[in-house]
């Protein structure tokens, strides 16, 4: 299996958005069901990039990560306990904030607002960091190594 973080950053370098890169990499590396329609997943992930198109708040890489975590750990029907996936989502965000201190796209990009090249590099690093966190969480929760 390909390295999830490297695949995600490669997809970002190829022009995919942050949210698309996370979801596509999860599909490509087998972290989510390979039977899921990749084009459909890409459409779902696409509006989350750039803080849902406005560069104001939730980072698109985080939103894409939460989509992946929902596909892996989400509840399948209303009878399932909603608190389990909420705990997974909260854990992901806490791990992300340990490193970046913020989840708001505008805050994460503030230092780079006048330098589009540095801004894109920063976003690529965030995509990679999100992928590392997801991979660690899946490995920990499922008790098996993930490439």
147 belongs to a structural domain: no
Q: What is the pLDDT of residue 140?
A: 86
Give the pTM. Answer: 0.91
Nearest to 109 by CA among 92, 126, 88: 126
Dist. CA 54–CA 73, nearest whole Å: 29
- Render pLDDT for 19-41 as a digit per residue (tens, 0 to 9): 999 999 999 999 999 999 999 99
Dist. CA 141–CA 139, nearest whole Å: 6
- Render pLDDT for 75-133 as a digit per residue (tens, 0 to 9): 999 999 999 999 999 999 999 999 999 999 999 999 998 999 999 999 999 999 999 99
Dist. CA 133–CA 56, nearest whole Å: 23
Helix (H) or strand (E) segment spanning residue 87: helix 82-100
- Render pLDDT for 41-77 as a digit per residue (tens, 0 to 9): 999 999 998 888 877 899 999 999 999 999 999 999 9
pLDDT score of 147 more than 60: no
Q: What is the pLDDT of residue 52?
A: 86
Nearest to 92 by CA among 131, 40, 34: 131
Q: How many domains does the structure of the chain reveal?
A: 1
Q: Which two tokens stand for residue 26?
A: 């999860």
Q: What is the pLDDT of residue 67?
A: 97
Dist. CA 138–CA 132, nearest whole Å: 10
3-state secondary structure of 143: coil
Q: Which domain holds residue 108?
A: 4-142
81 belongs to a structural domain: yes
pLDDT score of 142 more than 80: no
Q: What is the pLDDT of residue 110?
A: 93
Query: Cα-Cα-Cα-Cα dihedral of 138, 141, 145, 147, to 10°?
Result: 0
pLDDT score of 146 more than 60: no
pLDDT score of 7 more than 50: yes
């Amino acid at each position: 299996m390909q390295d999830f973080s490297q695949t995600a950053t490669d997809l970002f370098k190829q022009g995919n958005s942050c949210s698309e890169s996370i979801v596509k990499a999860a599909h490509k590396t087998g972290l989510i069901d390979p039977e899921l329609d990749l084009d459909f997943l890409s459409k779902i992930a696409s509006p989350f990039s750039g803080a849902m198109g406005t560069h104001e708040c939730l980072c698109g890489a985080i939103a894409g990560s939460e989509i992946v975590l929902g596909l892996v750990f989400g509840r399948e029907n209303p009878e399932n306990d909603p608190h389990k996936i909420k705990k997974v989502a909260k854990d992901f965000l806490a791990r992300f904030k340990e490193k970046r201190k913020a989840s708001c796209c505008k805050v994460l990009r503030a230092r780079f607002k006048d330098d589009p090249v540095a801004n894109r590099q920063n976003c690529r690093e965030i995509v990679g960091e999100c992928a590392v966190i997801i991979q660690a969480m899946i490995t920990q929760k499922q008790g098996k190594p993930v490439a």
